[in-house]
Amino acid sequence: MKKSNSVTAEIVRIGNSHGVRIPKSIREQAGLTGTVTLTVTGGALVIRAKRKPREGWEKQYRQALKESPEQELLLPDDVGTVYDKDWTW
């Protein structure tokens, strides 16, 4: 488990908004760069690195497949239909 850093920061005015300066050590520990997502959970502001949709799904599937090799895809890659025999692509 990584060591948790705790620092105090001031909320500062930035134009018509407000912001918090995040120290480099905290940004690096959290992997925050570029765009982030903000959510409020249980009265706490949570800042997370923005993830790509379905990021990590393949890795999780491969791990699940190692743990339970009998798992397989619900549909084969080439499903085919009754119309395939009459159609030329």
Query: What tens-digit pLDDT sequence spans the chain (89 residues)?
Result: 456 668 889 999 999 999 999 999 899 988 898 899 999 999 999 999 888 778 788 888 888 888 876 666 666 666 667 666 666 66
pLDDT of 72: 64
Any domain includes 78:
no
Any domain includes 40:
yes
pLDDT of 20: 93
82 secondary structure, DSSP code? T
Query: Comparing C-alpha atoms, which of 27, 22, 26, 25 is closest to residue 9?
Result: 22
Query: Comparing C-alpha atoms, which of 18, 20, 50, 17 is closest to residue 32?
Result: 50
Task: Write the CATH number for 14.
Answer: 2.10.260.10
Structural domains counted in the chain: 1
Any domain includes 64:
yes
Any domain includes 52:
yes
pTM of the model: 0.51
39 conformational bin, left if phi > 0, alpha if psi -120 to 50, beta if neither: beta
Any domain includes 82:
no
Any domain includes 19:
yes
In sequence order, the β-bridge partners of residue 48 are 37
Which residue range is the domain that position 52 belongs to? 8-72
